[in-house]
Amino acid sequence: MTNKSDKLNSVVSLTVNNQMITAPPGNTVVQALWHCGKARIKGIGCIEGVCGSCRVLVRRHASSSVTTELACQTTIEENMQVIFPPLSRPIPHQYQLTEITNERDLYAQFKQIFPEAQHCRHCGGCNISCPKDIDVEQGVRFATDGNFKEAGALFFTCVMCDLCSDACPELIAPNYVGLFSRRVYTCLHMKPANLLQRIDQLNRDEMDVVLPKNTGTIKDQ
């Protein structure tokens, strides 16, 4: 637990997009921006680390390495430099799930939808850039090997921040490969018996709901 008297009167200075700001220690980058009244809307979202909007480049004091992080999860440090990059615009990979109907054609369809994925050069940049420590390159490899179940599962914590897409020199969009993999696998394989049975019962009007007495729609037309 922080000793408040030690932290009294101490502020942390850092730069965000080349503008210097100061805020009390212990705050995240997002909170620090609010603290000094910087109106920042783009790049802020859930503030919980699941929407991927607040991706930033971070360089810490006296270090030459630059890391990719989520600003809502990054605690400020003295002389840190933070950059909110432009909004991501990944190359759209268009497909309709309704057109992917069987496993036999799936692999060929995948190659058409994500032709770049075949050209992974194994640079490992995607792994380093991922703020969720996903083994992105392995995920792409699973997909290009046709193991869509494994590919989708590997990306389960992916917040679609697009950092891996931005880091890929072959213009593969690995996070979209992962999402595609999980979606097609689900579509083709998920047929839960308990769900289907209940739907069948409902379709046959075998289940109904009886309303309590003296109730109805309250809304006035």
Partner 1 sequence: MQNGTPYNTALKYYSTDIHRPLVKADFSKAELLQNYHPDYDEHSMAILQSGSNRGDRCHKQLASILQASERAQENDFRNANIIETDVLVIGGGGAGCAAALTATGAGAHVLLATKLRLGDSNTIMAEGGIQASIEKNDTPQMHFDDTFKAGHQQGDTALIKQLVLDGPDVIQWLIQQGMQFDTDNAGNLLTRRAGSTSADRVVYYRDYTGLEMMRTLRESVLNSNIMLREYNPTIKLLSNKQGQCIGAVLHCLSNKTYTVVKANATIIATGGIGRMHLNGFPTSNHLGATGDGLALAYHLGAKLRDLDSFQYHPTGLAFPENLAGTLITEGIRSAGAQLLNADGKRFINELEPRDIVAAAIIRECVEGRGIFVSKKSRGVWLDTPTLEQKKPGILNSQFPKLVELGKKSGINPHHSPLLVYPTLHYQNGGIIIDKNGQTTVQGLYCAGEASGGIHGKNRIMGNALLEIISFGRRAGLHAAKQQAKKNKDPDQCHSILRNTGRSQNQQVARQYSPLLFPEYTGFNSSVKKND
Partner 2 sequence: MIKPQLNSVLLHDHSQCGTDISKWLSSIGGKGLETALQRPSSIIPEIKAAKLRGLGGSGFPTYKKWLLLSKQHNNNNRYLICNGNEDEPGTFKDRSLLENTPHQIIEGALICALATNINHIIFYINPDQKKSLDNIRACIAQWLASDYLPKIENTLGRSLHFRVMASSGEYIGGEETAAIEAVENKFPFPRGKPPFPVQHGVHFQPTLVNNIETLANVPHIMRNGAQWFNKLGKGNASGTKLYCLSGDVNSPGVYELPMGTSLNELIVKYGNGICGKQKLKAIFTGGPSNSILTEQDLQMALDFDSVALHHSSLGTGAMIIVAEGNSIVKHIAKYILFFSKASCGQCPPCTTGIRYLSELLTKIETGHGNREDLDILTGLCNILPYSGRCHLPNGAINLLKSALRHFQGEFENALRSTTE
Cβ-based nearer residue to partner 1, 120 or 182: 182
| CB atoms inside a 10 Å sphere around CB 173 | 23
Residues forming a β-bridge with 210: none
Could you tell me the smallest distance in angstroms from the CB atom of residue 17 to partner 1? 14
Q: Is 69 in the site for partner 2 (CB under 8 A)?
A: no
Binding partner at 129 among partner 2, partner 1, none, C-beta below 5 to 8 Å by kind: partner 2
Cβ-based nearer residue to partner 1, 111 or 189: 189
Task: List binders of partner 2 among 143-202 (CB under 8 A).
Answer: 163, 166-170
Binding partner at 167 among partner 1, partner 2, none, C-beta below 5 to 8 Å by kind: partner 2
Q: Which of 159, 161, 163, 172 binds partner 1 (CB under 8 A)?
A: 159
Q: Is 108 in the site for partner 1 (CB under 8 A)?
A: no
Cβ-based nearer residue to partner 2, 26 or 169: 169
Q: Which of 13, 31, 73, 81 binds partner 2 (CB under 8 A)?
A: 81
